[in-house]
Structure 1
């Protein structure tokens, strides 16, 4: 077994320090983010910036979120080991990989087949066997596997999508960025109750828009 490059090791240590300084306090989330290396999820020109707390471009005009936002969204879900989670917007697969260490089963969907295929290859390499990645229109969720304990949406909708709300269990939580794509958005946590839905506003964010339909590489 080869020793890790000292520079990479130092950057990873700084990476974890940055997560804590941004308000990620859940030890399970921090441990998962320490275990899942962001490096393999970023390819090409930006690969040397994998351990910086910043969003980066990936294929199909999408982005990989900055790690502190990934951590805060994961923390906001209040995950338990028995949860079944739906992620809308697979992207690089980084978020799904972290979720997979924290819950029983992750279903992740993306409208771009290329992203799903590339993420699936990384999941297989990392032996993350509790992730099911599918090409689908995320705005409709995954009704055949509903209801879900938790739903995480990694693209911004004007309002929390009705089909996704309907796929939450009673007591379930959805975290979703809400707002127009060209304005500052708000990260919202929605909790389904017997009486309806409770909404908590968490923080300002900026995500790519949630788009209906399949990507050009899929249609």
Structure 2
């Protein structure tokens, strides 16, 4: 049973209106953010801040992304119903839930065992059922490739080459690339077997995309 009140719905509606003002215009993205109960993804100490347009800690040195950032990345990804999407960095599961809400077939990978263990049980309990994996996001999920789209939710020092090669031709990768303190949001389209086109879409700050796995 989802702990959902009319107040939560009202706060989400206000959040969506604020995202429109900031430039998130894709109706499907706005509808998904308007439907996903973000307050359930946050520690109880932050629950009153769930519908503010801010990032908050979720444990293991990670954060739940700012709703504007989720909206921006998802809008840039241009999600279509039925697409096969790899998300690198499950975290709280909020971004995965937004993608599932939009009708995508979602595969999501998390390197922090603590977060993976929590999230892969939590998401189905509130009605979202992506395929969740524990592993190194830099390596992606080659056994399930190719993907229509790939979304990376942590900052990488470079575009992970293995992820590029897991795109189908015509597929798109959205990844923040740069230093620990600043990344450019990069949109990469695979135009041929070994050909890619890249555009940059402004600066962001994400937690770093780290290699390997962490067990707790």
Match of 1:146 in 2: 145
| TM-superposed deviation, 1:107 | 0.5
Give, in angstroms, the shift of residue 123 of structure 1: 1.5
Matching of residue 124 in structure 1 with residue 124 in structure 2:
yes
Q: Does 1:176 align with 2:160?
A: no
Post-superposition Cα deviations, 1:141-168, rounded to whole Å, max 9, x if no partner, equal: 0000001000000111111100000101
Structure 2: segments with no counterpart, 5+ residues: none
Q: Is the 8 A contact 1:40 1:122 kept in 2?
A: no
Runs of 4+ residues over 4 Å off in structure 1: none
User: For residues 180 and 39 of structure 1, what CA distance do their matches in structure 2 show?
Assistant: 30
- 2:71 aligns to what SS in structure 1? helix
SS for the counterpart of 1:58 is: strand
What is the alpha-carbon distance in structure 2 between the residues aligned to residue 196 and residue 9 of structure 1? 44
TM-score (normalizing by structure 2): 0.94
* Partner residue, 1:207: 206
CA distance in 1, matches of 2:171, 2:63: 27
Provide Cα deviations, 1:98-155, integer angstroms capped at 9, x if missing partner.
00122341000000122122222232122223x1111101010000000100000011
Aligned equivalents of 1:98 and 1:196: distance in 2?
30
Change (3 A) 1:163 1:3: closer
Q: How far off its partner does 1:26 sit?
A: 0.7
Aligned in 2, Cα 1:198/1:60: closer, same or farther, shift over 3 Å? Answer: same
Matched residue count: 214
| TM-score scaled by length of structure 1 | 0.92
CA distance in 2, matches of 1:105, 1:67: 21
Q: 2:74: which partner in 1?
A: 74
Distance in 2 (alpha carbons) for counterparts of 1:3 and 1:211: 35
Tell me what 1:185 maps to: 183
Q: In the TM superposition, what whole-angstrom CA distance separates every residue of 1:164-186 from its partner, at most 9, and x where no partner exists? A: 001010000000000010x3211
RMSD: 1.7
The 1:5/1:34 distance shift into structure 2, 3 A limit, reads closer
State the distance in 1 between where 2:124 and 2:76 align. 27
Deviation at 1:48, TM superposition (A): 1.4
